[in-house]
């Protein structure tokens, strides 16, 4: 069976779905590995490295492939080159990819979305959301330290003492915790806030202070946060204002699955920050946690520089690709039996991450969003009474008497 490693086509993408050092894992599973020329070039993985690892570097690999792996979903014009029944594995944002998913269904392609892999212990090694968030969180802290024109750590020298930078992190999921850990390692004094109750302990375990706003916590399902009401959001912003005004660097990483990023910090709050302070908004490309942040740009608000994240894992393509490739190898290992790609749809990891299969959309929320609710046969209307009916036996049919029994007597 042939696995194709596709060259990415998204603007600014630098990652690749397979790295040379993991090619051997796929050949061990029984696959022949085909790599599109230049697929790894922007992550510093040249074609020769793939060839040395046992892959075949070749153009026009899509029509031959049984499985195609990529970081971003293949665009429709490339998916149409695949054979009926081929499979694709990539990130596939189901809410914003309806046209592509419709194409994949109609082409008979089996597709798996890496962001849908259930976040259960058994599937941790396949969790690409976490692996890429780890990269993003680290990168955010490094960007903040790089933009800030002062030390992160405390320095006590013969020439005097330089105080450590004050860093505030909002949102303490995978990325936020990594931003906290990295800022701490660089010596900053870190405080963090998250709406989930469990986050306070996780923040403290990273050596940071958990900010307690004495607001109700917002737990959603699956360990995620719940959306805030506007009243709650306004109160949270008001209570966070003094912490942000005092910060040298603010890093925001808050998200709610399936929703636009919550607006945590207004431009007015940023305007109260000290001269030279820095804001890093990881959520800029999904609506922004900070009012006025722009994905991929540094803008000035008040006296602060505000950096907006745009495909942040792609800013560290080597490690991001390696972690992603390991996630893909783990998923493929689960889906391979005796050298054959044979996903078992009774396995919750397989069925949970599948989007299309056998000409159908099998991810139900996406199917309903695209195809609408399943039509239910309406129940037959009861015939209107003709007057010839048998007397009603109330012992057998105690409910919904079709007539007033007293009137009949
Ligand atoms: N395999 C696993 O079991 C597994 C793997 C990864 C993550 N998780 C858990 O999933 C959860 C979410 O992780 P994630 O990084 O994907 O989250 P995410 O990217 O969905 O959100 C990032 C963080 O933003 C926070 N947030 C949302 N609204 C906020 C607000 N208004 N103010 C402040 N913070 C806000 C969330 O609580 C979350 O911690 C965590 O509990 C994490 O530990 C579990």
- What's the gap between Cα 141 and its chain centre? 19
Q: Is 300 a catalytic residue?
A: no
Residue 404 in domain: no
Listed range (289-293, 346-350, 390-394) with the worst mean pLDDT:
390-394
Could you identify the residue written with the tokens 């597709």? Answer: 111
Close Cβ partners of 172 (under 8 Å, ≥ 6 residues apart): 180, 192, 193, 194, 196, 199, 202, 203, 253
Same domain, 186 and 290: yes
Nearest to 171 by CA among 274, 66, 346, 288: 288
Residue 75 in domain: yes
Residue 77 has pLDDT above 60, yes or no: yes
Residue 377 in domain: no
Task: For residues 396 and 390, give the distance between their C-alpha atoms in angstroms, rounded to a whole number.
Answer: 13
Q: Is the CB of 199 under 6 A from ligand 1?
A: yes
b/e map 40-57, b = 16+ CB within 10 Å: bebbebebebbeebebeb
Closest C-alpha to ligand 1, atom 40: 173
Pocket test for ligand 1, best of 173, 217, 263, 349 (most atoms within 8 A of CB): 173
Same domain, 302 and 169: yes
Q: Is 77 a catalytic residue?
A: no
Q: Please tell me the pTM assigned to this model.
A: 0.90
Same domain, 287 and 190: yes
Interval between CA 1 and ligand 1 midpoint (Å): 38
Interval between CA 26 and ligand 1 midpoint (Å): 32
DSSP assigned state of 86: -
Q: Is 138 a catalytic residue?
A: no
Closest C-alpha to ligand 1, atom 42: 173
Same domain, 64 and 150: no
Same domain, 65 and 145: no
The 10s digit of each residue's pLDDT in 103-159 is 999 999 999 999 999 999 999 999 999 999 999 999 999 999 999 999 999 999 999
Asked which of 315, 347, 381 is the last residue of a domain, the reply is 315
Same domain, 162 and 303: yes
Residue 361 in domain: yes
Residue 393 in domain: no
Same domain, 297 and 172: yes
- CATH number of 148's domain: 3.40.50.720
Asked which of 287, 315, 343 is the last residue of a domain, the reply is 315
Atom nearest to 133 CA in ligand 1: 15
What is the chain's mean pLDDT, rounded?
93
Same domain, 111 and 141: no
Residue 178 has pLDDT above 90, yes or no: yes
Q: Is 130 a catalytic residue?
A: yes
pLDDT on residue 386: 62
* DSSP track, 331-391: HHHHTEETTEE---TTSHHHHHHEEEETTEE-SHHHHHHHH-SPPPPPPPPPPPP-S-PPP
b/e map 71-108, b = 16+ CB within 10 Å: bbbbeeebbebbeeebbbbbbbebeebeebbebbbebb
Residue 373 in domain: no
Pocket test for ligand 1, best of 133, 243, 255 (most atoms within 8 A of CB): 255
Nearest to 331 by CA among 128, 37, 84, 56: 128
Same domain, 348 and 265: no
pLDDT on residue 376: 75
Q: How many domains does the chain divide into?
A: 2
- Going by pLDDT thresholds of 50, 70 and 90, the confidence category of residue 388 is low
Same domain, 64 and 143: no
Interval between CA 180 and ligand 1 midpoint (Å): 14
Q: Is 127 a catalytic residue?
A: yes
Same domain, 211 and 305: yes
Q: Is the CB of 134 under 6 A from ligand 1?
A: no
Asked which of 286, 315, 344 is the last residue of a domain, the reply is 315
Interval between CA 69 and ligand 1 midpoint (Å): 27
Task: For residues 222 and 118, give the distance between their C-alpha atoms in angstroms, rounded to a whole number.
Answer: 10
Closest C-alpha to ligand 1, atom 44: 119
- Going by pLDDT thresholds of 50, 70 and 90, the confidence category of residue 384 is low
- Going by pLDDT thresholds of 50, 70 and 90, the confidence category of residue 387 is low
Pairing of β 278-281 and β 304-308:
parallel
Q: Which domain holds residue 18?
A: 2-116+335-365
Residue 216 in domain: yes
- Going by pLDDT thresholds of 50, 70 and 90, the confidence category of residue 383 is low
Q: Is the CB of 349 under 6 A from ligand 1?
A: no
- Going by pLDDT thresholds of 50, 70 and 90, the confidence category of residue 289 is very high
Same domain, 310 and 174: yes
Q: Is the CB of 61 under 6 A from ligand 1?
A: no
Residue 32 in domain: yes
């Amino acid at each position: 069976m042939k696995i194709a490693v596709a060259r990415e086509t998204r603007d600014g993408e630098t990652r690749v779905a397979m790295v040379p050092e993991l090619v051997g894992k796929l050949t061990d599973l029984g696959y022949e590995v085909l790599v599109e020329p230049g697929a790894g070039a922007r992550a510093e993985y040249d074609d020769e490295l793939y060839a040395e690892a046992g892959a075949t570097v070749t153009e026009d690999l899509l029509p031959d492939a049984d499985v195609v792996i990529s970081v971003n979903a293949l665009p429709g014009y490339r998916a149409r080159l695949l054979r009926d029944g081929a499979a694709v594995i990539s990130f596939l944002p189901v809410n914003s990819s309806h046209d592509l998913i419709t194409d994949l269904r109609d082409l008979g392609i089996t597709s798996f979305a890496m962001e849908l892999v259930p976040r259960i212990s058994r599937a941790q090694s396949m969790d690409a959301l976490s692996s890429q968030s780890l990269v993003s969180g680290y990168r955010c802290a490094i960007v903040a330290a790089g933009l800030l024109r002062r030390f992160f750590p405390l320095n006590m020298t013969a020439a005097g003492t330089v105080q450590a930078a004050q860093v505030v992190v909002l949102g303490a999921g995978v990325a936020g915790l990594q931003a906290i850990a990295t800022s701490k390692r660089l010596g900053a004094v870190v405080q963090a806030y998250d709406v989930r109750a469990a986050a306070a302990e996780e923040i403290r375990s990273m050596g940071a202070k958990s900010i307690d706003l004495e607001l109700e916590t917002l737990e959603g399902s699956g360990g995620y946060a719940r959306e805030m009401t506007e009243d709650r959001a306004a109160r949270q912003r008001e209570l966070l204002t003094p912490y942000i005004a005092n910060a040298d660097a603010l890093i925001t990483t808050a998200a709610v699955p399936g929703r636009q990023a919550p607006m945590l910090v207004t431009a007015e709050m940023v305007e109260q920050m000290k001269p030279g302070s820095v804001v890093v908004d990881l959520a800029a490309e999904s609506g922004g946690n900070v009012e006025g942040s722009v994905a991929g740009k540094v803008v000035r608000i008040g006296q602060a520089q505000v950096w907006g994240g745009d495909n942040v894992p792609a800013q560290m393509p080597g490690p991001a690709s390696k972690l992603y490739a390991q996630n893909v190898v783990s998923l493929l290992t689960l889906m391979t039996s005796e050298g054959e790609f044979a996903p078992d749809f009774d396995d919750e990891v397989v069925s949970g991450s599948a989007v299309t299969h056998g000409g159908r959309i099998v991810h139900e929320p996406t199917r309903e969003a695209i195809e609408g609710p399943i039509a239910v046969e309406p129940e037959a209307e009861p015939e209107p009474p003709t007057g010839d009916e048998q007397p009603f036996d109330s012992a057998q049919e105690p409910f919904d008497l079709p007539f007033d029994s007293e009137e009949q007597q």
